[in-house]
Each structure stands twice: as C-alpha cells, then as structure tokens.
Amino acid sequence: MIEYDKDAIVYPYITELLRSGVPERSGFLAELEREAEAEDIPIILPEAARLLSVLCELKRPKHILEIGCAIGYSALLMSEKLADGGSILTLELDEKMAQRARANIEKAGKTDSITVRCCDAVETVPTLTGEYDLIFLDGPKTHYIHMLNDCIRLLSKGGLLIADNVLYKGMTADPEHVVRRKITIVKRLRHFIAAQMQRQELETVLLPLGDGMTVAVKKAD
C-alpha cells in the first residue's frame, strides 16, 4: 500500500503508477528505507531514486560528489554503479547523521569507495578540486544557487548534475501555495532552476519526479 504525501507534486494515481514499476528493494538498502521512514529522515523518494539509479547505470561514473548524505542511502545506492576503482565523496552537516552514514557504509562494506565528510557544504564545495562525473545536489535547498558555479567547475565534460527537491512540494511552481516561512527557499529554488537552464555550459531538464528534479549534462564545449 502506497502512502501518499499530500504535498506530492503529481496526482496520487500518477505516483502510484510510477512507483508500481519500481521493483521492491531487498537487503541493506531496504533496511535503510525502513529506518528512514520510521524516523522521518528525508531520503530520496522511490521514483527519483530509480532515475538516479538509471542515470548511474548509463554513466557508470568514476567519481561522484554528493551534497547532503543523511544516513548514506543515496550514496550506497549510487555506489552500486560506480566504475571500477571509483569513489564517492559525500558531504553532511549534521554530525549524528554523518556518524550514522559512516556506520551504514561500514556495514555495507563500502568504506573503500565512500567517504563521508562532516562539514558545511556551502563552505566546502568552493574549496574542492578535481573532477566529478556526477554531482548529486541534495543538501541545503536555499544554497543550491550559491553552489551552482562550483558544481559546474567541478563537473567533467559529459558529467551529470542532478538536483533533488527543486519543485519543493509544488511551491516552486505555484506562488499561491508558498507557505510564508518557505518564501526564501522557494525564491532561491526558482532562481536556481532558471540559472541552470540558462547556463551555456549545461543542457538541463526539469522533471516532475519525486519532489522535482533537474538533470543537467555538462556540454563537451
């Protein structure tokens, strides 16, 4: 039985169809899904997770940067599709979450390929160097816009920039439904979507999947 979020961005019957096609997970990731649900930890929604997984299968990234780790669910999901010798650097502000993610990564036997750094991504991302084939932006929504330039700088040519929650329960698309205390987040998300769409270096699509996602590829030139 699917539980519907009243703030979902598409009609429940659409979500039902989208989710019905996603094979139920087993093993450790299923355990993490249950843990996240029981404790209300916001991990990526099933249909959005499926897209992430499909894109990773297509891309087989060698180096991934994730902004917003929580308990390590999406990092572990992406790690299944890493190229040989690949690595994931995932950034998490909350010390307790970072510790739980490290414990989960250890349990899954992925300490060689996934590193959790407990830090404020807004400060850390500008200091990063190197190239990433996939960047998953799933941390502080208010600051996506502030991290866009660095994400583009850090992305390899042909690399993917995937941002989650950009429709933010539909509020980004409909000014009538913006709750007062969310006005800044929503304005910044609108700005982020528009900026990403306009960037010449990227080809971007906005998708009404999960809580809204943008998928951008860095063009060859």
Ligand X SMILES: C[S@@+](CC[C@H](N)C(=O)[O-])C[C@H]1O[C@@H](n2cnc3c(N)ncnc32)[C@H](O)[C@@H]1O
Residues 195, 190: Cα–Cα separation, whole Å = 8
Q: Which is nearer to ligand X, 98 or 173 (CB)?
A: 98
Q: Which is nearer to ligand X, 70 or 173 (CB)?
A: 70
Complete DSSP assignment for 102-164: HHHHHHTT-TTTEEEEES-HHHHGGG--S-EEEEEE-S-GGGHHHHHHHHHHHEEEEEEEEEE
Q: How far is the CB of 193 from ligand X (least distance, A)?
A: 18
Binding to ligand X by CB under 6 A, coded x per residue (else -) over 27-66, reads ---------------xxx----------------------
Options 5, 120, 201, 203; binder of ligand X; rule CB under 6 A = 120
Q: Is residue 70 close enough to count as binding ligand X by CB under 6 A?
A: yes
Q: Is residue 91 close enough to count as binding ligand X by CB under 6 A?
A: yes
Backbone angles phi, psi at 129, to 5 degrees: -130, 180
Nearest to 210 by CA among 39, 53, 31: 53
Beta bridge partners of 41: none
Q: Is residue 148 close enough to count as binding ligand X by CB under 6 A?
A: no
Q: Which residues bind ligand X (CB under 6 A)?
A: 42-44, 68-70, 73-74, 91-94, 97, 120-122, 138-140
